[in-house]
């Protein structure tokens, strides 16, 4: 008798456990009736027909998934190791259950192949300097391909681009050469500007003979300031004549 009561109580508990389900605010339940899709319910209390209806819970929160490190060969034949992280959530519980067997595994595998495919179309410099654009490209492709699974890919971030030591040294040498090139360009531009200014100054001095002579004498004074050297300058008569003309003009005044 007691055994029968225990069996009956167990059957009641089993029926109640099959009949009543409570879903949290971020959960939805995909209901099947005798194996056929019925509807999506939740959140709150869900009442099922025992042994006739079944439920599959779906989490609607944002999922953060690491993409394992992938070996990528860039368009300029450089081998790098790249890993990333993707942020996505389920927006259509029905599709996420019916259209794909394991939505998380499928998304992970698709992310790995897409990462290799997109990065393989770019050169190494693009991977290092245009990471935001690559993130957007990968995100757009994943979002399009996972739409049939009821998934919305919100963001993709490339975390690390790892290079071997020889490539790191090559990049450092390239950066050093670029800095040297820029320094030479700046120096050449400075010389060009200085030459232009000197040409303009020479043009101005050529219009005033007295100024030219005074500049010549000033240069001699600056050179003669170093007492350790003895310098002999020729003194052409045409240098003295303009000064004598100035003296005569002052005397007449």
Which residue segment(s) compose the domain that 197 sits in?
Answer: 165-207
pLDDT at 134: 92
| Residue 2 included in any domain | no
Respond yes or no on whether the N-terminal peptide bond of residue 51 is cis (omega within 30° of 0): no
Tally of domains within the chain: 4
pLDDT at 193: 82
pLDDT at 189: 83
Q: Quickly count: other Cβ atoms within 10 Å of residue 134's Cβ.
A: 22
pLDDT at 74: 87
Cα gap 235→232, rounded to integer Å: 9
| Residue 100 included in any domain | yes
Is the same domain home to 216 and 233? Answer: yes
CA-based end-to-end distance of the chain: 148
pLDDT digits (tens), the chain, 253 positions: 667 777 777 776 777 777 888 899 999 999 999 989 999 998 999 988 888 889 999 999 999 999 999 988 888 888 889 999 999 999 999 999 999 999 999 999 999 999 999 998 988 888 888 889 999 999 999 999 999 999 999 999 998 888 877 665 666 566 667 677 777 888 888 888 877 776 776 676 666 655 555 666 666 666 666 555 565 555 555 555 665 666 566 666 5
Task: Mention every residue, 6+ apart, whose C-beta is less than 8 A from residue 18.
Answer: 48, 50, 51
- Residue 208, SS3 per DSSP: coil
Is the same domain home to 69 and 159? Answer: yes
Is the same domain home to 41 and 14? Answer: yes
| Residue 3 included in any domain | no
Nearest by Cα to 50 from 37, 33, 74: 33
Is the same domain home to 74 and 151? Answer: yes
Task: Mention every residue, 6+ apart, whose C-beta is less than 8 A from residue 77.
Answer: none
Cα gap 135→142, rounded to integer Å: 11
Cα gap 154→127, rounded to integer Å: 21
Is the same domain home to 179 and 199? Answer: yes
| Residue 47 included in any domain | yes
Respond yes or no on whether the N-terminal peptide bond of residue 43 is cis (omega within 30° of 0): yes
pTM for this model (two decimals): 0.65
pLDDT at 157: 93
| Residue 223 included in any domain | yes
Cα gap 165→173, rounded to integer Å: 12
DSSP notation for 64-131: EEEEEEEEEE-TTS-EEEEEEEEEEEES-HHHHHHT-S-HHHHHHHHHHHHHHHHHTTS-HHHHHH-H
| Residue 34 included in any domain | yes
Is the same domain home to 90 and 120? Answer: yes
Is the same domain home to 76 and 129? Answer: yes
The β-bridge partners of 90 are 151
pLDDT at 145: 93
Q: Quickly count: other Cβ atoms within 10 Å of residue 229's Cβ.
A: 8
């Amino acid at each position: 008798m007691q055994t029968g009561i225990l069996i009956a109580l167990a059957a009641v508990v089993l029926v109640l456990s099959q009949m009543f389900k409570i879903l949290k605010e971020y959960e939805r339940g995909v209901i099947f009736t005798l194996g056929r899709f019925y509807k999506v319910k939740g959140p709150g209390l869900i009442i099922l027909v025992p042994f006739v209806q079944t439920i599959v819970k779906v989490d609607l929160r944002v999922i953060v998934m690491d993409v394992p490190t992938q070996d990528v060969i860039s368009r300029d034949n450089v081998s790098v190791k790249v890993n990333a992280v993707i942020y996505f959530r389920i927006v259509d519980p029905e599709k996420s259950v019916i259209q794909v067997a394991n939505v998380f595994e499928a998304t992970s595998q698709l992310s790995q192949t897409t990462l290799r495919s997109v990065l393989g179309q770019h050169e190494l410099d693009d991977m290092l300097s245009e990471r935001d654009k690559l993130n957007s490209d990968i995100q757009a492709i994943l979002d399009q391909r996972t739409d049939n699974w009821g998934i919305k890919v919100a963001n993709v971030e490339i975390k690390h681009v790892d290079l071997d030591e020889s490539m790191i040294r090559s990049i450092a040498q390239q950066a050093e050469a670029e800095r040297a090139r820029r320094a030479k360009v700046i120096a050449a531009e400075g010389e060009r500007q200085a030459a232009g200014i000197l040409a303009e100054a020479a043009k101005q001095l050529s219009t005033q003979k007295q100024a030219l002579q005074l500049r010549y004498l000033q240069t001699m004074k600056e050179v003669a300031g170093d007492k350790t050297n003895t310098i002999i300058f020729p003194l052409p008569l045409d240098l003295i004549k303009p000064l004598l003309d100035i003296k005569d003009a002052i005397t007449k005044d």
